[in-house]
Amino acid sequence: MTPQAKLIFAISLLLGTTIVISSNHWVTIWAGLEINTLAILPLIAKSHHPRAIEAATKYFLTQATASALLLFSATTNAWYTGQWDITQLTHPAACLILTSALAMKLGLAPFHFWFPEVLQGSSLTTALILSTAMKFPPMTLLLITSPSLNPTLLTSMAILSAALGGWMGLNQTQIRKILAFSSISHLGWMAIIVSYNPKLTLLNFYLYALMTTTVFLTLNVIKTSKLSTLMTTWTKTPALSAMLMLTLLSLAGLPPFTGFLPKWFIIQELTNQNMAPAATAIALLSLLGLFFYLRLAYCATITLPPHTTNHMKQWHTNSPTGITIAILTTTSIMLLPISPMILTTI
């Protein structure tokens, strides 16, 4: 793919995102989402591998279906209320359809099946865009329309996402699939609180995007996409592997890392909203995901010599430059000093 084509697709992604987050009319929002979808498809399929073509096809069909549901929801609401404004969503059927459309776009359970397969068929850079930037427009819509959505439905989908995200990621060996199920689990935490405190959802999303970006960029630098090759990186880049381990522990939500901060606030807010059973359920279900986070962190810090032909090829690749290591290490360190215990006592 030529640099000019990449520039056009990047500008299209920015344009689509800007249109979505700055519009009040449902048709304009639908157009922005379609621009985003059409811009990311060539980036998914650029390797011309059958798995990449399959991932692009699955992504297109899923996103097209979700966009059609969103437009159908807006049309239903306009039919009964005469309003096309995004904040005037009042019809119950339209609210239910919109919740399903946004869940499908985000990869929230039970509409999550496409996300791990699409991430597995994409490159690490494209997977990073799919996990962070492409979730920002539907997340913005979720935040804006949260007063109109059904809290019970969102809570059920959130608990299901936390359960499936942790359970289905347990026996995975492909890092991109593990991070996909990690994303599904984090989306559960965002969805369960969005009706009660959207600011906490936004905080959780920002911290998740920062930590996921650090992990994907580190994996892209050390050219690792499987657990078996991750175990051979400690000898090449020990500092970067140590920072990757700390970032993964933060992504897991272990105290006193930054990833624990939004989870603590969400549990506290759910308790204040008399939803202690839901808070207990999602907290216990997040322990399932803790296992594969710890396994990733362990694989990033053990020393294992290469033992196959593919690993020998991986072992003799050029090491990343000192500037790259310094940038990623600094980004990882930024995730560490924010102690939730200190912040909540101020």
Euclidean distance between CA atoms 13 and 21, whole angstroms: 12
What tens digit of pLDDT does each residue of 133-185 get? 999 999 999 999 999 898 899 999 999 999 999 888 888 888 899 999 999 99
Compute the average pLDDT of residues 234-257.
83
Q: Describe the crossing of helices 136-144 and 198-221 by its angle, rounded to 10 degrees.
A: 170
Euclidean distance between CA atoms 143 and 252, whole angstroms: 24
Quick check: 124 pLDDT over 70? yes
3-class DSSP state for residue 260? helix
pLDDT of residue 54: 93
Six-digit token string for 175 = 């890092």
Query: Which letter, b or e, does each residue of 174-201 get, where b requires 16 or more Cβ atoms within 10 Å of its Cβ?
Result: ebbbbbbbbbbbbbbbbbbbbbbbbebb
Least confident of 125-139, 194-208, 247-261: 247-261
Quick check: 306 pLDDT over 80? no
Task: Give the confidence band of 315 by pLDDT, cuts at 50, 70, 90.
Answer: very low
| Domain layout of the chain by residue ranges | 3-345
pLDDT of residue 171: 81
Reported for 305-312, long-range contacts at CB under 8 A and 24+ positions apart, including other chains, are: 305/232, 306/232, 310/229, 311/228, 311/229, 311/232
Euclidean distance between CA atoms 285 and 144, whole angstroms: 28
What percent of the residues of the chain are helix, what percent strand, and what percent coil, each to the nearest 5? 75, 0, 25
Best CA proximity match to 188, nearest among 282, 307, 269: 282
| Cβ atoms 164, 184 nearer than 8 A | yes
Quick check: 16 pLDDT over 50? yes
Q: Describe the crossing of helices 276-301 and 260-272 by its angle, rounded to 10 degrees.
A: 170
Six-digit token string for 130 = 């799919």
Euclidean distance between CA atoms 161 and 166, whole angstroms: 8
pLDDT of residue 243: 84
pLDDT of residue 230: 82
Give the best-scoring range by mean pLDDT among 184-198, 249-263, 330-344: 184-198
Six-digit token string for 256 = 């006193």
- Cross-strand bridge partners of residue 174: 226
Average pLDDT, the chain: 85
What tens digit of pLDDT does each residue of 63-96 get? 999 999 999 999 999 999 888 988 888 889 999 9
Compute the average pLDDT of residues 211-216.
91
- Widest pairwise Cα distance in the chain: 67
pLDDT of residue 75: 94
Quick check: 340 pLDDT over 50? no
Best CA proximity match to 297, nearest among 308, 289, 305, 285: 289
Six-digit token string for 104 = 């499908």
Least confident of 222-231, 291-300, 316-325: 316-325
Quick check: 337 pLDDT over 60? no
- The end-to-end CA distance of the chain, in Å, is 51
Euclidean distance between CA atoms 39 and 130, whole angstroms: 12
pLDDT of residue 31: 94
3-class DSSP state for residue 119? helix
Single-letter residue type at 322: G
Residues 6+ apart with CB under 8 A from 312: 306
Best CA proximity match to 149, nearest among 93, 84, 206, 106: 93
Best CA proximity match to 46, nearest among 56, 38, 37: 56
Euclidean distance between CA atoms 157 and 93, whole angstroms: 17
pTM of the predicted model as reported, rounded to 2 decimal places: 0.86
User: Between these two residues, 13 and 244, which has the higher pLDDT value?
Assistant: 13
